[in-house]
Amino acid sequence: MREIILISFLGPDQPNQFTRLMQVLSVHSLQILDVGQAVIHNQLTLGIVVASDNETATALAMKEILILAHDIGLTVRFKPISNAEYEQWVSEGGRTRYIVTALAPELTAAHLQAVTKIVSSQGFNIETVTRLSGRLDLQTDSPFPRRACVQFGLSGQMLDAQAMRAACLSLSGELNIDVAVQEDNAYRRNRRLVCFDMDSTLIEQEVIDELALEAGVGAQVAEITERAMQGELDFQQSFRARVALLKGLDASVLPKIAERLTVTEGAERLISTLKALGYKTAILSGGFQYFAEYLQAKLGIDEVHANILDVRDGLVTGEVKGAIVDGARKAELLRQLADKMGISLEQAMAVGDGANDLPMLSIAGLGVAYRAKPLVRQNANQAISSVGLDGVLYLLGMHDKDLNRA
């Protein structure tokens, strides 16, 4: 009669434990059906599901496992699994899996309780819990911003995706925590292209507002900018209206403006990490090519597409050259870049903050609204507001310990 047994171990982690346990099972020819291990603060939790048709071999193996566990300081438990239970477990292997990522400057028990309550309400079971952020040194004040990230691996059937998304957004606003829900598939682990908006995403400013200040029309342009970013105005019309107000501006101020632009928190770490890992990066901006190229050189971006400010005789004419890079154009450019690389849109990622970023966020495999307006947060796949731009790396499943080597 075929026996299936779950063997659970708990105790201090030591070198060579797993090898010695496998040796016992190997001697008695037990089949390994499943195995999983976690170590937290040098405490080991290990589970092994074994099977055998030989009752004598199984009994001898269990006896030797008990002796070995005592010898290496582990507590061991045996739990028989019926054939029906095992077949049920096998049948669940074909279900869609999900990853929930929780990140914030600091994650408390209240945060995790709130996140897992949402998870449970959707009928999911938590199979894995993994800390992606680095170990927190309580004795040293780090010069880097604090952040914490925990990733949950879920099994089960999503009951209501829209309700889960709404609950996560609501929680973000209440507790200053970001919660991302992604399908755990091959694409999630194989993104190859990351496209960024520039203004208020890679940099903290809106460049057109900076130009307007130099031209003495700051208040008029800022009002139009805000209405456009909130989605209240058509981007092309509002953009032309703002650029027209710049007519007569001395182009010699462009380098001065570029030098005072502030790179967003975490942007340099994000870009350098992506480059080290072989990702292609691009700026797709409704701003201006001059500043996009400045940022390209500073951060090492692979490709940039933005609006070309028309300058004649050293003065801004109040017009742009060529087609305006609006939301539709950003999405088109993202498609073109993916085609050029020979990758699926599912392998592309887009990050932005404004309403004109929504088209590219919606077609990318992973679209992230970064410190975005409410309209954008509600319509993007994912949103990050509580940490710096490098928090995006956690959505790609990266660990801090790996990033330090990148």
* Surface-to-core class of residue 103, CB atoms within 10 Å of its CB (0-12 exposed, 13-18 middle, 19+ buried): buried
Residue keyed to tokens 């691996």: 153
In angstroms, the CA 82 to CA 87 distance is 9
| CA neighbor of 299 nearest in space, from 190, 206, 390, 399 | 390
| CA neighbor of 191 nearest in space, from 281, 302, 73 | 281
> Got the DSSP string for 237-259?
HHHHHHHHTTTT-BGGGHHHHHH
> Got the DSSP string for 50-97?
EEES-HHHHHHHHHHHHHHHHHTT-EEEEEE--HHHHHHHHHGGGSPP
Residue keyed to tokens 């992973």: 366
To 5 degrees, how large is the angle CA 346–CA 381–CA 104? 115
Strand blocks (E) in 95-227: 98-104, 125-131, 148-155, 178-183, 193-196
Strand blocks (E) in 332-379: 348-352, 366-370
Residues with Cβ within 8 Å of 29's Cβ and at least 6 positions away in sequence, in order, are 52, 54, 57
Judge whether 184 and 192 are in contact, CB under 8 Å.
no
Q: Give catalytic residue positions.
A: 197, 199
In angstroms, the CA 198 to CA 283 distance is 6
In angstroms, the CA 107 to CA 130 distance is 13
Tokens standing for residue 394: 């956690």
The DSSP bridge pattern shows strands 348-352 and 366-370 to be: parallel
